Structures are given as C-alpha cells and as structure tokens.
C-alpha cells in the first residue's frame, strides 16, 4: 500500500474514532463495521504511538469544532434516533462522492460527511486513456468520436510499448514526453471540454465542478504538520442545519456553483497543466503526468482547486507540539 494511502486511511479512522468517543455519552451511536472501516483501522494501527497521538490530536480539534456547527451530531430526536459513523468505500469517489467519513441519522433523513486530507489538497486523481470516456463519467455526456481519433496515436503507442515490455521507462523511448505525450493529449482534452460545454451550455460548468469538487456537501479537513484547516463546501445547502431550537454556533455560507467555463488554457511555462477559469470565483488546475517511472497505457490527472468563491467557510486551527 502506498504511504499516502496509508496515512490518509489512518487519518479517516482517527476522525471516526474520536467522534465516537466524544459523542457516545451524548447520543445513541454506532460504528458501521464494514471492510472500509477495518482497512482504515489496520492502517492506523500500523503507526507508532507517537504518530497515533498526532492523528488523534488533529481529529479531536475537528470534533470540537464540528459539534458546535452541526447540532445534529450530538442531538437526536428520540431514543430510536441512532447516529451511525461510517467510513466510505474508495469507489464512491469515482462517482463524485468525495466524502471519506459519514455521519448518518436515518430517522431524521440527515447525513453529513468529511473529506480527510493528510498533507495534500488534491481534488481528484482521474485518469485518461485511449478508451476512457471522461465526458460520460464526469458530466453525463459522451466524448466525441473525433476526440478518441485525436488521442489514439499517443495512447496506441503507449499501449504498444507497455505490451512489448512492462519494464520500459519513459526516458528509454521518449526524448521529450511533454511534447510527445502530455501536450497533444491536453490539447485534445481542452478541445473536447469546449465541445462538451457547447452541447450543454446551461448545465456543463456546474456538472463539471460538482463532479470534481463533490456531488454532496462536505467538510474538508486538511492536516499538515502544525495546522488543521477546516473548509465547508456547502454547495447544496445541506450543512449547518439547526435542530428545532438548537442552532449552530457559527454560520456556514452556501457556495454558488459556476454557470459557465470562461477559459481553459495552458498554465504559463507548463506543458502538462491546464487552468480552468469559471465564473463565481472557481479556478481548477489539471496537471497530467505519468504515475510511474515505467510507461503505462494511461495517464493520471492531479486535479486541484486553485481558487474558490470568497464565501467558502474556512477555519485554521494551529496545533502546537505536545
């Protein structure tokens, strides 16, 4: 298992377990004992006690903060109102659900989720290949035949190299993989994005950002060395709800999804990165790269949120050394 995956899973487990210990005396609560939970627990237990303490400390700060702005975490409406804590399966992210830890009250038909990030901020790590129909997956409209014709020479070459020798490295066969691989693929991708927008001018921008950022509202917890950042992506108005007369102690503003993609262009000085500029303050970068030193038949995107609406609720919590 990759180190980043292990640390991410450990952070997810620490968040869930800290919420459980904090809330179990205040409300009826249960942990959903699924495979994702057991995997995260195993990752957490693989760290030293000192490292576990660091995860627990960050998680405990998030618990204190979120209980104040989400009253339904600690308050049920009856004895039958059970708060379920669940770690989501990774495959949900492929469908646009970026939440890692879920809090569910079935009786209230209410749930919120947390996206846990350990020392990184990436939105997605989507792939492109000669056959992957990103348009259908991302926004519900298939890519054109012309797109697949344009990318075919590059991906067919990668496939051929991979098939003949899986140990072949990029530098063995490409003098400049940026010009020979990345740039032509991104040019075709850029052209197709504009075409997809033309097909669905009213909904395209909101669908794209919804897929990349998240199809459900969520809190993002970003853990770094001495700081925890909490962001509230309240795009659909489901966060920060009062429960009868119990109101949140702070207000989380609703974010507006974009209505149009203004421009998609290469980042200055970068042959493998596109910058997407939307209205309403959204800006997203698409950096394409080889996920391995060895040639593979697909390429990986590192997709990041560069800027967001000024109404994005953000809280920074400084965490000193113990």
The four Cα atoms 45, 47, 53, 55 give a dihedral, to 10 degrees, of -90
- Over residues 10-36, mean pLDDT: 96
Residues 164-222: tens digit of each pLDDT: 999 999 999 999 999 999 999 999 999 999 999 999 999 999 999 999 999 999 999 99
Judge whether residue 291 has pLDDT over 90: no
| Residue in 175, 140, 146, 127 with CA at minimum distance from that of residue 296 | 127
Q: Which residue has the higher pLDDT, 124 or 185?
A: 185
Judge whether residue 121 has pLDDT over 80: no
Burial class (CB in 10 A: 0-12, 13-18, 19+), 249: exposed
Q: pLDDT > 70: what percent of the chain? A: 99
Which strands sit side by side in the sheet containing 273-278, from one edge to the other? 127-129, 298-307, 283-289, 273-278, 261-266
Residues 127-144: tens digit of each pLDDT: 999 999 999 999 999 999
> In Å, what is the CA distance from 187 to each residue of 134, 179, 317?
15, 11, 41
Beta-sheet pairing, 83-87 with 29-31:
parallel
Per-residue b/e over 125-161, b at no fewer than 16 CB within 10 Å?
ebebbbebebbeebbebebeeebbebbeebbebbbeb
pLDDT category of residue 1 using cuts at 50, 70 and 90? low
Residue 285 is encoded by which pair of tokens? 């970068």
**Where along the chain do its domains lie?**
3-122+215-256+311-318, 127-208+257-307
- Over residues 119-132, mean pLDDT: 86
For residues 310 and 209, what is the distance between their CA atoms, to the nearest angstrom?
Answer: 16
What is the rounded end-to-end Cα distance, in angstroms, of the chain? 30
Judge whether residue 105 has pLDDT over 60: yes
Helix, strand, coil abundance in the chain, percent, nearest 5:
40, 25, 35
> In Å, what is the CA distance from 282 to each residue of 188, 193, 288, 303, 312?
23, 16, 20, 13, 11
The four Cα atoms 51, 53, 55, 59 give a dihedral, to 10 degrees, of 180
pLDDT category of residue 125 using cuts at 50, 70 and 90? confident
Q: At what angle do helices 3-23 and 49-69 cross, to 10 degrees?
A: 50
pTM over 0.95: no
Residues 37-93: tens digit of each pLDDT: 999 999 999 999 999 999 999 999 999 899 999 999 999 999 999 999 999 988 877
């Amino acid at each position: 298992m990759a180190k980043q995956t292990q640390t991410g899973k450990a952070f997810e487990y620490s968040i869930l377990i800290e919420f459980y210990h904090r809330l179990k005396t205040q409300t009826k609560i249960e942990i959903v004992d699924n495979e994702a939970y057991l995997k995260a627990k195993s990752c957490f237990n693989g760290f030293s006690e000192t490292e576990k303490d660091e995860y627990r400390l960050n998680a405990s700060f998030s618990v204190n903060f979120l209980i104040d702005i989400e009253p339904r975490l600690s308050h049920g409406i009856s004895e039958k109102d059970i708060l379920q804590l669940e770690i989501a399966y990774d495959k949900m992210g492929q469908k646009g659900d970026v939440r890692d830890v879920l809090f569910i009250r079935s009786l209230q038909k209410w749930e919120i989720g947390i996206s846990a990030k350990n020392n990184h901020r990436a939105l997605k790590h989507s792939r492109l290949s000669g056959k992957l129909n990103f348009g259908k997956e991302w926004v519900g409209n298939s890519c054109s035949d012309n797109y697949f014709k344009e990318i075919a020479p590059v991906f067919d070459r990668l496939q051929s190299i991979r098939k003949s020798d899986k140990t072949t490295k990029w530098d063995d066969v490409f003098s400049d993989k940026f010009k020979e691989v990345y740039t032509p693929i991104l040019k075709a991708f850029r052209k197709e994005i504009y075409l997809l927008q033309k097909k669905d001018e009213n909904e395209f921008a909101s669908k794209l950002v919804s897929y990349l950022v998240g199809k459900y509202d969520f809190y993002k917890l970003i853990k770094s060395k001495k700081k925890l950042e909490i962001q509230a992506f309240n795009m659909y108005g489901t966060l920060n709800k009062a429960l009868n007369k119990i109101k949140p102690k702070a207000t989380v503003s609703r974010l507006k999804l974009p209505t149009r993609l203004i421009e998609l262009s290469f980042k200055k000085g970068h042959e493998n990165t596109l910058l997407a500029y939307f209205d309403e303050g959204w800006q997203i970068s698409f950096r394409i790269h080889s996920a391995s030193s060895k040639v593979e038949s697909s390429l990986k995107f590192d997709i990041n949120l560069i800027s967001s609406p000024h109404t994005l609720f953000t809280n920074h919590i400084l965490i000193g050394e113990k």
